[in-house]
Chains A and B, each alone.
Chain A
Amino acid sequence: MASRVLPAFGSRRSLHIFERNYYAYRSQWLMFASGFFEPFFYLLAIGIGLNHLVGALPVGGRSVSYATFVAPGMLATSAMNGAVIDSIFNPFFRLKISHTYDAVLSTPLDVTDVALGEVWWALSRAALYAASFIVCMVLLGDATSPWVVLCWPGAVLTSLAFTCVGLAGCTYVRSWQDFDVVTLVTLPLFLFSGTFFPITLYPQWLGAIVSVSPLYQAAALLRGLATGQFDLLMLGRAGYLVALGLAGLWLAARRFRAILTP
């Protein structure tokens, strides 16, 4: 018997799902490579473009350039978008269109292995893209502190939260039309989560609502890490993302089981 990764959840066999996805993507290297260009686009367009128009902004006690402010937010957004692709679009196709998982489940793999395997895959991609993003930040001079390296695990944690929630969400998608709902959720998250500007600009009540947004929590966490300004609140933010991830994964496995082995 393969050793358990978590008590009663998934096994080492979940890595075969990672392997499967690797084979599936090998022929789609262009799509794979596009993930590396994304940070350049974000950082160039928003960072450099707006940097000259927008003055310095306060982060923690310090005042930083707009590019330095916005880069961690873009990193968080990029992690969210990657997670949406890897946890909603692709798994939906495998779950309900191509019935890939039906075949997988007649092998020793379990439903929990399938869910966990998709998470490994999404996190690996996120880690790769986040690394390239952080290198870009450093090269473009948007990083002000060596602590910026901590953005790497921070971005992976962001991906974990969104991937697991996305996996649960993908089980509710009935057809391609439903993907409009996904956009309906991610677009406002992207626009209003303090990724472009500090949420202190909002009225207090709106700020309170936005602080529930996982993208806001992720952006705030990454901003703290990128500038090396740590506070206890960041532990809370990280805890929030972990909790969201675990809850999402639990629900995803339950839903996968109900759908795949009724």
Chain B
Amino acid sequence: MTAQGGRDIVAEARGLVKRFGAFEAVRGVDFTIARGESFGFLGPNGAGKTSTMRMVSAVSQPSAGSLSIFGLDPRVHGPEIRGRIGVVPQDDSLELELSVRLNIEMYGRYFDLPRRVLRERTDELLDFARLTERADSKVDDLSGGMKRRLTIARALVNRPEMLILDEPTTGLDPQARHLLWERLYRLKREGVTLIITTHYMDEAEQLCDRLVVMDNGTIVAEGAPRELIEHHSSREVLELRFGTDAHAAMHDVLAPHAERVEVLPDRVLLYVEDGDDALRTVHAAGITPLSALVRRSSLEDVFLRLTGRTLVD
């Protein structure tokens, strides 16, 4: 389905709502995702990211609003949509009753893939997940990170056009994380659309062309990572540390020296144009922090600004 501007739209939500009983987990969100794009959902715990992803995966039904995936209505064409999607759920729901290899093969069978094709794909995916040696192990015997890798490999078995990853790298060691990133870059080059949630800001900056920040079931900001940083934060951040209980009292003292001051339990953040400059004026005012650090603004600052919470809380 092509929309205005000739862009190929794979997912479009308007006023999308998800209710659990009386509780509204997603409160009318709008987003449009183009083919080949990698799109991120960020937000604190309970923001409604997973609830939104489950609707986009055509697994859970929207309570209100409109949602179209590949130009199809998930209420009507659920099986067809799901057949073209790969899903890495937040909790690995692996088959404890099947071996590692069969976890991938059987999952592929649900997509009506022939066994001959599956044997080949499974070999390749086991290799990608670095689980070839554990192919005949029971899933229960794998480590947490290995299970996560298996869940990711499994999601690729149907060669999806769109891959939905809910905190894919939680529990992965740095090497496994970089292997996944590499694979995701490759899939993106092949035209696969990626939808990702993550609590790691470096990951979001690396992987996402565009992202939305959700809070309390609504979207509070949208844009490319750099745009968001430019729009919602200053150019640089001066991080100051004082004695442990002194931080709360520092807000008013430091306020004149920055565009905005954010007090965290372990440090104070000063949002400024020029960090070194700000540090000089702080010193000149007779304020002496135990340590000082100047850095560029990051998505983490945007997140803090928009949701009032640090990312990993």
Interface of A toward B, CB cutoff 8 Å: 1-2, 11, 13, 16, 19-20, 23-24, 98-100, 102-110, 261-262
Closest to B96 in A: A98
Kindly list the 7 A-B residue pairs having the minimum CB-CB distance in the complex, ordered from nearest.
Answer: A107-B110, A108-B79, A24-B97, A99-B93, A103-B93, A106-B87, A102-B93
The answer to whether A98 and B95 touch across the interface, beta carbons within 8 angstroms, is yes
B78 within 8 A of A: yes
B57 within 8 A of A: yes
Evaluate whether A262 and B57 lie within 8 angstroms (CB atoms) in the complex, with A98-B97, A108-B79 already known: no
Evaluate whether A106 and B59 lie within 8 angstroms (CB atoms) in the complex, with A1-B79, A23-B106, A99-B91 already known: yes
The answer to whether A19 and B106 touch across the interface, beta carbons within 8 angstroms, is yes
Closest to B154 in A: A103
In the bound complex, CA of A23 to CA of B115 (Å): 13
The answer to whether A108 and B83 touch across the interface, beta carbons within 8 angstroms, is yes
Evaluate whether A103 and B94 lie within 8 angstroms (CB atoms) in the complex, with A109-B79, A110-B79 already known: yes
The answer to whether B110 and A108 touch across the interface, beta carbons within 8 angstroms, is yes
Considering only residues 80-104 of chain B, those with a C-beta below 8 Å from chain A are 80, 82-83, 85, 87, 89, 91, 93-98, 102
Enumerate chain A residues within 8 angstroms of B111, measured Cβ to Cβ.
107-108
Enumerate chain B residues within 8 angstroms of A19, measured Cβ to Cβ.
106, 109
B68 within 8 A of A: no
Enumerate chain A residues within 8 angstroms of B96, measured Cβ to Cβ.
98, 100
In the bound complex, CA of A105 to CA of B111 (Å): 11
B252 within 8 A of A: no
Enumerate chain A residues within 8 angstroms of B158, measured Cβ to Cβ.
107
In the bound complex, CA of A11 to CA of B83 (Å): 14
B170 within 8 A of A: no
Enumerate chain B residues within 8 angstroms of A104, measured Cβ to Cβ.
110
In the bound complex, CA of A262 to CA of B51 (Å): 10
